[in-house]
Amino acid sequence: MKCRKCQAKLEVLRQCGRVRMRCTGCNKTYQIHEVASELDRETEEILERYTVLIYD
């Protein structure tokens, strides 16, 4: 999925038990709920794996 500001790719960032999306272009971070409506399948699958880790 892409950054709203610069259209660069967002990467999943895991940090202290929280998961954020970070832009590889402008370095802006998004909370998951901010981008939840725009998640693509690839990102959802990554998040599902992280969710398992967090709540394990």
Near Zn ion by CB under 5 A: residue from 21, 23, 30, 47: 23
Near Zn ion by CB under 5 A: residue from 5, 9, 18, 49: 5
Q: Does 21 bind Zn ion (CB under 5 A)?
A: no
Per rule CB under 5 A, count of chain residues that contact Zn ion? 7
User: Which of 28/53 has CB closer to Zn ion?
Assistant: 28
The rounded distance, in Å, linking the Cα atoms of 27 and 9 is: 10
